[in-house]
Amino acid sequence: MAKLMCMKGPNGLCPCRTCKIIGIRAREGGNNTHYVPYFWDSEPYNPFNLLLRTHDEFIADALAVESAPSKAEAERRAKETGINGLPILASLSSLKFPHSFGHDLMHLISENVIKNLLSFWIGEYKGLDAGVEEYELAPEVVEEIGKECAVAGDTTPAAFGARIPNIATKRHYFTAKSYTLWTTMLAPVLLRGRFSHPKYYRHFLKLVNIFNDCLSMSLERDYVDRDLCRQIAVWVQEYKMYYYQYEDARLSTCPLTIHALLHIPDDILNGGPMWCYWNYVTECYVGFLVRSSKSRRNPYASFARRLHELTQNTAIKILTFVFCGHEQPGLYPTLFGKLLANIYRTRITSLPTSQWQQFPRRLSTGVGSLSSAVGTRCAVLRSPDVDINAHHSRQPRKDERQAAYGQLLELLEFIVVLPESDINKPLLLASIRPVKVPKRSPYPFPVYQDGKFNPIEVVDADDLSCLVARIPANRAGPRVYALYERPGAMGASVGAAPNTE
C-alpha cells in the first residue's frame, strides 16, 4: 500500500501513512526500520489526539518533493514527510489521501499483531526475553495447545474453512485465514489459564473483542467515536507496558502495526466497517485461483479445466441429490410448520411415524450446509420463539427469540393433509438433541458438558440458524465443549470463494 501511495513506509522517518508521527530507529540491530514507541525520552504522544494528515497537506507535500530544485533537496523533503512523490492515483478526484487507503484488518491483526504475540509467548520474538514480565509460555504448554488445536478440527464444521494445524509444530502451514480463525475461535478457549498471570489472557481477549467489533455487520457512530477508540488506545498502552516495558533495548516490540491499530476508528469513519474492504474475501478468491492453476506455461488451460471439473462436480451432486444450494423460500410452509412443530415439540417417538420420512431423499431441494450436518451430529444454533410467560398462566403468550444449542440428529419431511385446508405441502422438521448451557461460562463463549442433554425435540427446521463449532475446553474432569458461532462478516464471507467441496 505504501508503494501505491508513493510513500517510504515503515523504513521512513515518518512511517505512518495516516498521521505525522516520527519513528525512531533502533540503536542496536542495524536495520532501517523506524519503530513507533508510545513513550520516548519523556515525550509521550497522545493516542487520542494524533496529528493526522489531510488530503491537501498530502498533495502539497508530494508536489513539494516533485518540484524540488535538486535531487538532494527532494530526498530531504521526502525524508521529512515520508512521501516520495505524487502518486499516479492522485489524478483520480474520487480518491482522498490517506482517507481512501484504510488498513486491512486481516493483515493488520491476524497476520501481524497475532503473529507477534505468538512469538512473544513462545519466546521467539527477535531474540528478546520477557524482561520484567512473565508472558512466555512453557514449552510443554505450547505443545499441549498445539495438540488441542488439531483436535478441535474434528468438531469444527468444514464450512468454517480448512482445519487449523497444530500451532506448535505446523505453524508454517498457517494462512491468514488460519490465524483469523485461531484468534477468534480457538485462542480464547485454549489460552485460558495458560499464562502465569491472567492479565496477559485478559489483554489478548480485549484484542479479540476489538477484532470482532471491527467485523460487526453494523456499528453505531457513537460507539466508534467513543468506546472503540478508547478500547484500542487502552489496549495499545497496555501492550507497551507488557511487551515494550519502556526499555530502549526493546524498541523492536513497537512496529508500525501496533501504532496502526490506533487508526482503526478513523478507517471505519472514512470507509465504513472494516469487513467492507478487508482482504479475507480477496484472499479466499485468490486461493481458489492459485489452486486452479499449477502450470505457468499454460495457466488459462488449467483454469478452464478447473472450471470444467467444478461444473462436473456440481452436476454429480445434483444427480445424486447431495447438492447444497440456497434455501428455496415457499417450498415448506413456514408458519404452518411452526404451528405443528410446537404441537409436536416432544419426544420424536410421539410422531406418527407412518407420516414422516427421513429428509436426505430430498437433499436436492437444498437447506445448504445444514443438510450435510445430518449424520455427523454437528452442533447447531437455534433461535426459537419462546413464550416468556409460559410459567404465568394468566399472562398472555409473549414470544421472544432465544438462542439455544443442540445436536442435529435428523431432518424430517412431515407429510400431512388437514381437512378444510389448502396446505398440503410436506413440512420440514428437525430432530434436535438440545444441550444444557449453563448461564455462566468461564470462556467468552457458551459451554456445555458432554453427555448433558435435554430430551430430544422435533422443531421447525426454520428455527435452525447456523452450524457452530465445538472446541474441547476441558483439561481435567468431565469433557466440556465451548460453542463458537462465527462473527457476522466471517460467516458472510463463506460464499466469497467458489464452492470447491
Q: Which residues, 6+ apart, have CB-to-CB distance to 62 below 8 Å?
A: 6, 83, 85, 86, 87, 90
Helix (H) or strand (E) holding 387, with range, is: strand 385-387
Taking the mean position of all CA atoms in its chain, how far away is CA 118? 17
Judged by CB under 5 A, does residue 81 bind Zn ion? no
Nearest approach, Cβ of 80 to Zn ion (angstroms)?
A: 16
| Distance in Å, CB of 16 to Zn ion, minimum | 3
**444 Cβ partners below 8 Å, 6+ apart?**
188, 205, 208, 209
Strand partners, 447: 482
| Residue 256 binds Zn ion, judged by CB under 5 A | no
| Residue 108 makes contact with Zn ion by CB under 5 A | no
Instruction: Report the residue from 16, 105, 324, 370 that binds Zn ion according to the rule CB under 5 A.
Output: 16
Minimum Å distance from CB 28 to Zn ion? 25
User: Which span (12-20, 86-94, 111-119, 480-488) binds Zn ion, by CB under 5 A?
Assistant: 12-20
Q: Does 18 help bind Zn ion (rule: CB under 5 A)?
A: yes
Q: Which of residues 352-381 bind Zn ion (CB under 5 A)?
A: none
We find the least distance from the C-beta atom of residue 18 to Zn ion, in angstroms, to be 5
- For Zn ion, the closer CB: 108 or 378: 108
- Output the smallest distance, CB 266 to Zn ion, in A: 9
**Contact at 8 Å (CB) between 273 and 265?**
no
* Torsion 273-274-277-280 (CA) sign: negative
Query: CB 52 → Zn ion: shortest distance, Å?
Result: 8
Work out whether 257 is an interface residue with Zn ion (CB under 5 A): no
Q: What is the contact mask toward Zn ion in residues 443 to 482, using x (rule: CB under 5 A)?
A: ----------------------------------------
Closer residue to Zn ion in complex, CB, 13/310: 13
Applying the rule CB under 5 A, the residues between 20 and 49 that interact with Zn ion are: 21
Which CB sits closer to Zn ion, 18 or 184?
Answer: 18
Neighbours of 156 (CB within 10 A): 22
Q: Which residues pair with 25 in a beta bridge?
A: 34
Stretch touching Zn ion by CB under 5 A, among 18-26, 104-112, 173-181, 233-241: 18-26
Decide if residue 261 touches Zn ion (CB under 5 A).
no
**Cβ-proximal residues to 219 (8 Å cutoff; 6+ apart), any chain:** 213, 228, 268, 273
Task: Give the contacts of 387 (CB within 8 A, at least 6 positions apart).
Answer: 397, 398, 399
Length of the chain: 501
Is residue 268 involved in binding Zn ion (CB under 5 A)?
no
For the chain, what percentages of helix, strand and coil (3-state, to nearest 5) are there? 45, 15, 40
Q: Is 19 among the residues that bind Zn ion (CB under 5 A)?
A: yes
258 binds Zn ion (CB under 5 A): no
Whole-number CA gyration radius for the chain: 27
**Integer Cα distance of 22 and 16 in angstroms:** 8
Contacts to Zn ion by CB under 5 A: 16, 18-19, 21
